[in-house]
Amino acid sequence: MLVLARKKGESIMIGDDIEVKIVGVEGDLIRLGITAPKSIKVYRSEVFESIQLENKQALNVSASFMEKIKKNNKNY
């Protein structure tokens, strides 16, 4: 991992077209401004982790419960 020190207002480039700028520093909260092409997805890493977790939790359904839903299929 590359570690760089940056001050407020400074930025780094990732490749030719992704810029990450330090917009503000307030205590332990750092605000980043990210400029990237539309084809690059930018999201907090917790988002991907939360989706992995959600997928795992979605598997917690028993075959017998789905049977019950099929039988009580009046509202759905």
Q: Between 25 and 69, whose beta carbon lies closer to another protein?
A: 69
Residue 76 and residue 69 in contact, taking contact as beta carbons nearer than 8 Å: yes
Phi and psi of 35, rounded to 5°? Answer: -115, 115
How near is the Cβ of 27 to another protein at its closest, in Å? 25
Nearest C-alpha neighbor of 34 from the set 46, 59, 52, 17: 17
Binding site for another protein (CB under 8 A): 38-43, 47-48, 50-61, 63, 65-66, 69-70, 73-76
Closest distance of CB 7 from another protein, Å? 28
